[in-house]
Amino acid sequence: MSVRLPRKQLEIILSQLKGFPDPNASKEQYEISDTVAATMLFSAASAGDIENRRVYDLGCGPGRLAIGAALLGAEHVVGVDIDSKVLNVAEQNAVQLGVRERIEFVSQDIETITARVDTVLMNAPFGVQRDHADRPFLRKALEIGDVVYSLHKASEGGRKFIARYVSEFGGRISFIQEMMMALPATMHFHEKKRHKIKVDFYRIEKQEETK
């Protein structure tokens, strides 16, 4: 299914979706912003990694990336999260946008996924609350997908580390885009109503010989 949805329109649609019902800091339940989600999705769609592709959203939360991929014409989308409560919200969001039948939401630890897909999208825990929480996500994404779009907290050291780390699992970074992401105050320890953080989104390709 080919969908020509302007980027700005996608951003507006995603901004209307419900968020985490009861955000848990230890699981780093921060929602991706509409702007960053729409930018990632359009970048992936422009590279031919969404339309008619099998797509996984690892740690999908309320489902913005999964739902966006379905709206942009993915053949089949699976959103996985360890928190079944937030998957109920993701399902409601998908119903609201008429893509429920094209997305499977699965309550599962990402470690137990055994699928093979074309594209993985993820805004995984950054590893701020729990050190290295992003690593199992990168490992799993490269195990199951040919191309990975992944969001991380921006830093020079982080870029060097991720380049080295993904190469151990057959991945090569094809580009990094730095963006500012607005985070509303959702946790009890947030003092400002809204703050902005620098994020990097990565496109990582699996090298031919490791596919």
Ligand X SMILES: C[S@@+](CC[C@H](N)C(=O)[O-])C[C@H]1O[C@@H](n2cnc3c(N)ncnc32)[C@H](O)[C@@H]1O
Residues near ligand X, by CB under 6 A: 27-32, 59-62, 64-65, 80-83, 86, 109-110, 123-125
Dihedral through CA 89, CA 33, CA 30, CA 137, nearest 10? Answer: 90
Task: Pick between residue 97 and residue 167 the one whose CB is nearest to ligand X.
Answer: 97
| Cα–Cα distance measured from residue 147 to residue 82, given in angstroms and rounded to the nearest whole number | 23
Least distance to ligand X from the beta carbon of 90, Å?
Answer: 9
Least distance to ligand X from the beta carbon of 132, Å?
Answer: 12
Least distance to ligand X from the beta carbon of 151, Å?
Answer: 7
Task: Pick between residue 46 and residue 84 the one whose CB is nearest to ligand X.
Answer: 84
Task: Pick between residue 72 and residue 210 the one whose CB is nearest to ligand X.
Answer: 72
Strand, coil or helix: 33: coil
For the record, the structure tokens of 106 come out as 């699965």
| Cα–Cα distance measured from residue 50 to residue 118, given in angstroms and rounded to the nearest whole number | 9
**CB under 8 Å, gap of 24 or more: what pairs does 180-184 form?**
181/32, 181/33, 181/35, 181/36, 182/33, 182/35, 183/30, 183/33
For the record, the structure tokens of 137 come out as 């996500």
Least distance to ligand X from the beta carbon of 137, Å?
Answer: 8
Task: Pick between residue 85 and residue 172 the one whose CB is nearest to ligand X.
Answer: 85
Task: Pick between residue 41 and residue 147 the one whose CB is nearest to ligand X.
Answer: 41
Least distance to ligand X from the beta carbon of 209, Å?
Answer: 29
Task: Pick between residue 87 and residue 147 the one whose CB is nearest to ligand X.
Answer: 87
Q: Which residues of 58-73 are buried (b: 16+ CB within 10 A; e: fewer)?
A: bbbbbbbbbbbbbbbb
Least distance to ligand X from the beta carbon of 2, Å?
Answer: 25
| Cα–Cα distance measured from residue 198 to residue 110, given in angstroms and rounded to the nearest whole number | 26
